[in-house]
Amino acid sequence: MAPKVAGGLYLTYLGVRIWASAKRPLVVTEVGSRTDTTTGRAFTLGFTTQVSNPKTAVVYASVFAAFLPAVQTPAFNLSVTVLVFLVEAGWYALVALALSSDRSRGAYLRYKSLVDTTAGGVMVALGVKLIASTHPS
């Protein structure tokens, strides 16, 4: 019960922080053409950054605590792990490709407030759902 409440409070905290910063503009700098970074090096940097980020583990654990069944099999756990990796890799590849063009980056910057407010609201809702799931109906 305590991990669920802690996870719910953390998700709620993250949601409030995202929501509160929704109107804050991003500082965007122009990036010159860099040819010294290989694809492998960029992948390694991104992978190690994501794997070493404890926030990622806490967010996934919190979300999973709210939605996964109480009893899982080893095959289920392996499937979830593989699916999480594929979703994360796919998502970040999609974001990198989408935001690498000036047009889509500009569109995101125009709608950043709406996107961040919505994302913050979803995080708060997930946190509240997780906390509420610890109380018997």
Segments making up each domain of the chain, as ranges: 2-23+54-132
pTM recorded for the entire structure: 0.59
What per-residue confidence (pLDDT) applies to 55? 73
Range with the poorest average pLDDT among 30-34, 41-45, 133-137 = 30-34
The neighbour count for residue 48, using CB atoms within 10 Å, is 10
Phi-psi region of 71 (alpha: psi -120 to 50; beta: other; left: phi over 0): beta
Query: Across the chain, which distance is largest between two alpha carbons, in Å?
Result: 59
Task: Assign 113 a pLDDT band (cuts: 50, 70, 90).
Answer: very high
Closest CA to 11 of 48, 75, 66, 52: 66
- Residue indicated by tokens 């099999």: 73
Closest CA to 121 of 52, 50, 19: 19
Average pLDDT (39-59) is: 78
What per-residue confidence (pLDDT) applies to 31? 58
Residue 33 predicted with pLDDT over 60:
no
- Tens of pLDDT, residues 67-94: 777 788 899 889 988 888 888 888 888 8
